[in-house]
Structure 1
């Protein structure tokens, strides 16, 4: 059942975030749904994302480490990924990089929402971020191109022991 192309558009701003890095710091419980729009298969990731301080020379940035279980076509497997969130060009924004330092996308949550595109080979990742309140946010990625036709929706809920909103 294909979803409309505007499925990644964020809802109206709910919770402006003056400093993305301060807001994201801590532990988040993660649930992600992955829908293959070509054949209708649906997968699910359940796990944890930890945003922890990066060591020098990247002081002020965060290491994003996600780990959990991804179930796809009835098979559950361990899954993880690592990203780097660095201070952006404007105060309160972030520069998101892959673990190897390649640029992924910018992130500006000052209005509570943000949209971005990331070309990857011949596919295009169109992302949207929505902040609902101090302890809940969502990312949506619509991936389209010759190799993929996916919708990924990830819900983040601040986990226990993360020290509350904006803890670092």
Structure 2
């Protein structure tokens, strides 16, 4: 836990949407470690385990993930192999209950990674991905009252 302490802000609870206990999970890429840091792979493995355990605790039923990509330098973006491993390791219940993956401020890199990953990811999962290009667009999808938007993303 000590090694990932500086990166715990990467995942936060952003409230609820719809009727019932449909959680909003905010994943802020700007809080990920830089790929040049020592023990990067070790940190990312442990961070993934933390993210999955957090999802297990936060998600009772359906949920939505908001991936805050804005203001994230390329050196902090996770690699394709890490993303593929994460997708494969996520419990079926979590994949099934995910109603939408909203990517805020998608870059060409994110779009390319998803296009390359298409053969490894189910069509059903790919249909859950939405792109929003501004926080105003995001506010049309979910209430922004409890969603923590990092200051660097706001700017």
TM > 0.5? no
Q: Which has the higher helix share?
A: 2
Q: Which has the larger radius of gyration?
A: 1
Q: TM-score, normalised by structure 1?
A: 0.30
